[in-house]
Amino acid sequence: MAILTNREIWELIKNKKLVIEPFDENIVRENGLDLRIGEEYAFYSFENQVIDPTQIEDSKDFFNIVKAQDRKIIVKPNSFILLTTLEYVKFPENIVGFCNLRSTWARYGLSIPPTVIDAGFEGNITIELVNASKNYIVLKPGLRFLHVILVETKSEVKYLGKYLKQKGVTLPKGLKEEI
């Protein structure tokens, strides 16, 4: 397994093995992709409640999904939101993406949990974002925020999970069927 450089990434794009829509050449970086903030985001509908994912079949009652107002997404202090990427991606069956927040955003107090884009995945990427600061942070759709490191696997695999071909912010699945 090897981390791909921009040369290998450009080759995948040129050969249409890696599809990114809309595409902007500025998102291809030295050793990965910088995906941009989409227009849609989600936040909890309420606070200070007990949420047991093993008792949830559908989480739509727990979240509000909204569009950025005035091209701004304001992230409250000590809060959590779900963001989507502007880009819809289609990964080859032998490429995995490891997601990191661009360090510039982290320096403002934002963070994301470890996130993997599975080989063969197709869709917008939904990212969980935490504002650990005591400040309101303004995000703007179209800004680069998610650095994705691409790694080649030894063999091919097809992603068949629930989030395949997701568009916009996709809410978490309930875990009731897993207990």
Kindly give the pairing relationship between strand 144-152 and strand 32-44.
Answer: antiparallel
Distance from C-alpha of 132 to C-alpha of 111, rounded to nearest angstrom: 7
- Catalytic option among 11, 128, 152, 178: 128
128 carries an active-site annotation: yes
Supply the residues annotated as catalytic. 128
